[in-house]
């Protein structure tokens, strides 16, 4: 059955997609179930600010090698991590540029060996997802990789002891590699310095990590947006209205695990300075972020959204949707033009990090027709040989102060809540520091000024107990939601049929 492709609000953060309604339902299922002068720094890494940017005429431009095969002992690295805290990783000039532009690009942060480890882990994780689904899906979205809760294959033939051991080692490699990046790299310390956190009174926590891979041949894009609560589960008022510094809204790190070419598409486009632009509040309201940031994205919001994308008269219905993350073009073209005027399309190489404030407007660039072949050649994939089409991989990390607060939701509805609130509804509305103290410290790991003690063990325990039960609760909520979605689709189909009959009889 063919369906019209529509630009929709997708709960997939950086992969908010222009997809058909049936594909959108698959996506929501996946959701639920410079630094210019630092050469004097005594570190094993060199860093420099991005200079490879493609801009329009209206735009301004801007060690642990081979450790992925071993079980990383997080506790033995505590002293090393604490020493990093004193390193001047960002300069005053960097902080000023970040505050004004809303983003920085850092290159050379990771060694070639670390990049190789991340590449191997990314390939292995995509393979796990393919085994679970039984096919090469158009996108891969895996949240909370640091928990260690990786996808299980839908079905597997009997395995020998050696095969089971190899599979477990592969899973351990994936988890430890991404934990190393999220918890032990310099990224948390860079983010804390850009946010100007006080190590005596504040801490930095990992709100969410997300691994994403997109098939380059799909026309999945998302117009100008800031991430909605399905990918940034935080109440907006917990930061912007309560913190002393605008920089403390939170930071999104977008780590490229492939080379992204601005010429060929697929990369990230940012609207420079949009986090402080006068038009930003109108844009929040247009796409529904004023609602989801202050309160919570409820079941009714999702049903309203799905109703919008299944409605034949989409342009009118979409404007009535409460949350329309990727639909700024349809809802308010005038505001979209303002975001577009300051766009910067980035060339990113494998290992580069785009560090952006949580409230910077951004969008994904569609891969061009020539780009599909370009990326296929780069990856060595050949569709004529029956090989899967290449994916572009990235790893996204969302760091926030411990005072960030989970959305409360309307009337206690936690249908779209983060796993911590699915596990215990009392966590909705709490700060991440409060959840750490009153529930479990591993839900949102403290990454700065020092790591939580015994964090590796706590993350594993969380994945084997609380996360399992939270997912069971989320699954039950999702099944109820899908029953209502089916009813909406049936109603829409019936209406369309009746309208067709009436038109033919006129």
Work out the average pLDDT over 447-466: 94
For 427, the token pair is: 């966590």
Closest CA to 185 of 38, 351, 348, 350: 351
Higher-scoring residue by pLDDT: 428, 20: 428
CA atoms within 13 A on the CB side of 171: 16
pLDDT at 225: 92
Higher-scoring residue by pLDDT: 359, 294: 359
Lowest mean pLDDT among 61-65, 358-362, 370-374: 61-65
User: Is 357 a residue whose pLDDT tops 90?
Assistant: yes
CA atoms within 13 A on the CB side of 371: 20
What residues make up the domain containing 154?
Answer: 89-303+324-405
For 496, the token pair is: 């369309």
- CB count within 10 Å of CB 166 equals 12
Higher-scoring residue by pLDDT: 290, 365: 365
Residues 419-443 pLDDT 10s: 898 899 899 889 999 999 999 999 9
Work out the average pLDDT over 389-409: 87
**Tokens 């969008």 sit on residue:** 363
Asked if the structure places residue 427 within a domain, the reply is: no
Instruction: Please return the burial class of 44, using the count of CB atoms within 10 Å of its CB with bins 0-12, 13-18 and 19+.
Output: exposed
Asked if the structure places residue 425 within a domain, the reply is: no
Provide the phi-psi class of 261: left if phi over 0, else alpha when psi is between -120 and 50, else beta.
beta
Query: Residues for the chain: how many in total?
Result: 506
| pLDDT confidence bin for 277, thresholds 50/70/90 | very high
Residue 349 DSSP one-character state: -
List, in order, residues 6 or more apart from 163 with CB less than 8 Å away: none
Paired residues of 268 in beta bridges: 364
The Cα–Cα gap between 496 and 49 comes to 54
pLDDT at 140: 73
For 233, the token pair is: 């589960």
Work out the average pLDDT over 112-141: 81
For 112, the token pair is: 């070639």
Asked if the structure places residue 435 within a domain, the reply is: no
Long-range contacts of 281-286 (CB under 8 A, 24+ apart): 282/332, 282/335, 283/224, 283/328, 283/332, 283/335, 283/339, 283/361, 284/226, 286/324, 286/328, 286/331, 286/332, 286/335
| pLDDT confidence bin for 42, thresholds 50/70/90 | very low
Asked if the structure places residue 442 within a domain, the reply is: no
| pLDDT confidence bin for 486, thresholds 50/70/90 | confident
Task: Estimate the crossing angle of helix 466-505 against helix 299-310, to 10 degrees.
Answer: 40
Work out the average pLDDT over 51-57: 39
| pLDDT confidence bin for 87, thresholds 50/70/90 | low
CA atoms within 13 A on the CB side of 411: 3
Q: Which helix (H) or strand (E) holds 140?
A: strand 139-143
3-state secondary structure of 289: helix
| pLDDT confidence bin for 177, thresholds 50/70/90 | very high
Asked if the structure places residue 186 within a domain, the reply is: yes
Residue 366 DSSP one-character state: P
Asked if the structure places residue 463 within a domain, the reply is: no
Closest CA to 140 of 258, 311, 5: 258
pLDDT at 308: 57
**Tokens 């989320």 sit on residue:** 474
Global pTM reads 0.77
Asked if the structure places residue 94 within a domain, the reply is: yes
Asked if the structure places residue 104 within a domain, the reply is: yes
Closest CA to 351 of 122, 107, 183, 174: 107
The Cα–Cα gap between 309 and 314 comes to 6
Q: What are phi and psi of 238, to 5 degrees?
A: -75, -15
- CB count within 10 Å of CB 379 equals 16
CATH of residue 270: 2.60.120.620
Higher-scoring residue by pLDDT: 244, 150: 150
Residues 187-230 pLDDT 10s: 999 999 999 999 999 999 999 999 998 888 777 678 999 987 77
3-state secondary structure of 504: helix
pLDDT at 175: 96
- The total domain count for the chain is 1
């Amino acid at each position: 059955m063919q369906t019209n492709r529509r630009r929709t609000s997708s709960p997939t953060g950086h992969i908010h997609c222009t997809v058909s309604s049936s594909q959108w339902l698959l996506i929501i299922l996946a959701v639920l179930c410079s630094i210019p002068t630092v050469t004097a720094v005594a570190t094993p890494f060199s860093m420099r600010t991005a200079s490879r940017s493609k801009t329009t005429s209206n735009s301004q431009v801007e060690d642990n090698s081979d450790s992925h095969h071993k079980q990383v002992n997080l506790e033995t690295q505590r002293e090393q991590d604490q020493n990093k805290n004193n390193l001047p990783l960002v300069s005053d000039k960097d902080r000023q540029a970040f505050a004004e532009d809303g983003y920085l690009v850092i290159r050379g942060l990771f060694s070639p060996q670390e990049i190789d480890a991340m590449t191997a882990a990314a390939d292995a994780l995509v393979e796990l997802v393919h085994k679970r689904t039984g096919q090469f899906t158009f996108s891969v979205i895996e949240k909370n990789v640091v928990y260690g809760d990786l996808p299980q294959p839908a079905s597997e033939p009997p395995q020998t002891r050696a095969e089971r051991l190899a599979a477990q080692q592969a899973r351990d490699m994936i988890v430890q590699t991404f934990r190393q990046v999220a918890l032990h790299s310099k990224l948390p310390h860079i983010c804390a310095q850009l946010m100007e956190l006080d190590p005596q009174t504040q801490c930095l926590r990992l709100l969410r990590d997300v691994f994403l891979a997109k098939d380059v041949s799909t026309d999945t894009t998302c117009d100008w947006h800031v991430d909605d609560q399905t990918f940034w589960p935080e109440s907006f008022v917990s930061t912007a209205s309560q913190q002393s510094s605008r920089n403390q809204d939170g930071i999104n790190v977008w780590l490229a695990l492939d080379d992204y070419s601005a010429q060929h598409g697929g990369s990230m486009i940012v609207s420079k300075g949009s986090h402080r632009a006068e038009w930003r509040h109108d844009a929040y309201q247009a796409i529904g972020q004023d609602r989801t940031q202050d309160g919570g994205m409820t079941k009714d919001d999702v049903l309203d959204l799905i109703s919008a994308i299944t409605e034949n008269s989409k342009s009118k219905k979409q404007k009535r949707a409460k949350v329309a993350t990727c639909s700024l073009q349809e809802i308010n073209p005038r505001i979209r033009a303002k975001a577009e005027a300051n766009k910067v399309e980035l060339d990113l190489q494998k290992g580069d990090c785009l560090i952006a404030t949580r409230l910077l407007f951004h969008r994904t660039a569609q891969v061009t027709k020539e780009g599909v072949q370009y990326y296929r050649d780069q990856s060595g994939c050949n569709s004529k040989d029956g090989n899967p089409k290449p994916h572009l991989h990235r790893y996204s990390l969302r760091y926030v102060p411990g005072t960030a607060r989970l959305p409360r939701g309307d009337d206690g509805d936690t249908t779209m809540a983060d796993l911590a609130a699915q596990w215990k509804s009392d966590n909705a509305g709490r700060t991440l520091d409060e959840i750490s103290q009153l529930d479990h410290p591993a839900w949102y790991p403290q990454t700065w000024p020092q790591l939580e003690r015994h964090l590796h063990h706590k993350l594993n325990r969380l994945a084997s107990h609380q996360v399992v039960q939270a997912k069971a609760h989320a699954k039950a909520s999702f099944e109820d939601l899908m029953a209502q979605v089916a009813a909406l689709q049936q109603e829409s189909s019936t209406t369309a049929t009746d309208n067709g009959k009436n038109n033919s009889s006129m």
